[in-house]
Amino acid sequence: MSASQFATGAHAHLPLDAHKDYILAIAIIALTDLLSAWTLFSSAAGSSSSTAVNMAQSALDEVTAASALDRSPSTFRRFVSRDASAQFPAVPGRYHLYVSYACPWACRCLAFLKLKGLEHAISVTAVKPIFERTKETDDHMGWVFPSTADEEPGAEPDPINGAKSVRELYEIASTNYTGRPSVPILWDKQLKTVVNNESSEIIRMLNTEFNDIAENPGLDLYPAHLRASIDQINELVYSAINSGVYQCGFAKKQEPYDEAVTKLFEALDKCEEILGKQRYLCGNQLTEADIRLFVTLIRFDEIPGISSTVNIEHNKKSYYSDPSTNPYGIIPIGSNIDYNAPHDRERFGAV
């Protein structure tokens, strides 16, 4: 099954009814993740005879013999704190966020950065959308920076470390890093290290720890009174949708694929059911749960700023770059959705 066949199937499955904006958003996120998985898969397949590299080549290394995706935990799990005496205090100008616009996990961090009004305090650099060789000495493929500012619109050379690749950043931070050289990375310019490379934790830090310097300190995307409900939705969305699409994309046997894809569409239906009754996943206010689901999408005019975290051209280039999954190099013409069109979600009231 090819990515484009899946795309057709996904859209065919989706009822284009009154809440189509949200559901299309969900579908595109699912496809984004799925195609990302395909890209990772194919990059690994392409380098199967490579010189030994002392780090995980790609997410394919995380597929078990039974064909299930067993994702290794992110390695750097330190926390920025609002406490001025902490090892990583939340001071303006000290941290840098490395992202790929093609990566949904990185884009959720970008979304938080924009929504909280932290662009003046935390700088951002995006890599090129297509994996390239990260070293001359082996054939590991990964995220790289352009060498000039105009080489790849939306991506920039690394202004902090002058690194050629994300792999190089991990090598600066640790001499024995063996995980995948992934984005997002929250980088400490002062100690020249990765503070954290786990997006679910980076978004929590951005939500609370920088409030003294955030332009929108009052925006709480993980409010205490909704935490139980957010946690519950996150669990469903993560396992069945965010990670679920990887399970589909990485399946090497029919059975795990069937299981994952069924779970995925059940979860999409569940989200649709919830959003048929209320404006947001956890009630009448935007929360982390919505961002985690939307991720790469530009959608509602109520949340200006998010549009700049989406770069469809990078997404398309990245996902359709690999000849083994897209032998004819066809780049999709879409998406042709006008995200600025009225969405009609006001009917549920609230913000």
Q: Which residues bind ligand GSH (CB under 6 A)?
A: 36, 40, 58-59, 74, 103, 105, 142, 180-184, 197-199
What minimum distance in Å lies between the beta carbon of 278 and ligand GSH? Answer: 27
143 marked among binding-site residues: yes
77 appears as a binding residue in the annotation: no
- The one catalytic residue in 22, 95, 103, 320 is 103
Q: Which residues are paired to 63 by β-bridges?
A: 69
Q: How far is the CB of 105 from ligand GSH (least distance, A)?
A: 3
Q: Are strands 95-99 and 123-126 parallel, antiparallel or unpaired?
A: parallel
Smallest separation, CB 120 to ligand GSH (Å): 24
Nearer to ligand GSH by Cβ, of 29 and 115: the residue is 29
Instruction: Spot the catalytic one: 246, 280, 319, 320.
Output: 246
Is 256 one of the annotated binding-site residues?
no
Q: Does 198 carry a binding-site annotation?
A: yes
- Does the annotation place 165 within a ligand binding site? no
Q: CB 274 → ligand GSH: shortest distance, Å?
A: 23
Q: Is 103 marked active-site? A: yes
| Closer to ligand GSH by Cβ: residue 29 or 281 | 29
Residue 6 vs 105, nearer CB to ligand GSH: 105
Of 182 and 247, which CB lies nearer to ligand GSH in the complex structure?
A: 182
Contact, 76 vs 194, CB < 8 A? yes
108 labeled binding residue = no
Q: Rounded to the nearest whole angstrom, what is the least distance from the CB of residue 200 to ligand GSH in the complex?
A: 6
Q: Of 53 and 91, which has the nearer Cβ to ligand GSH?
A: 53
Cβ atoms within 10 Å, residue 169: 27
Residue 130 CB neighbour total at 10 angstroms: 20
Residue given tokens 């990772």 in the structure block: 40
Catalytic-residue membership of 101:
no
User: Binding site for glutathione: which residues?
Assistant: 143, 180-183, 198-199
User: Binding site: which residues?
Assistant: 143, 180-183, 198-199
Residues belonging to the active site: 103, 246
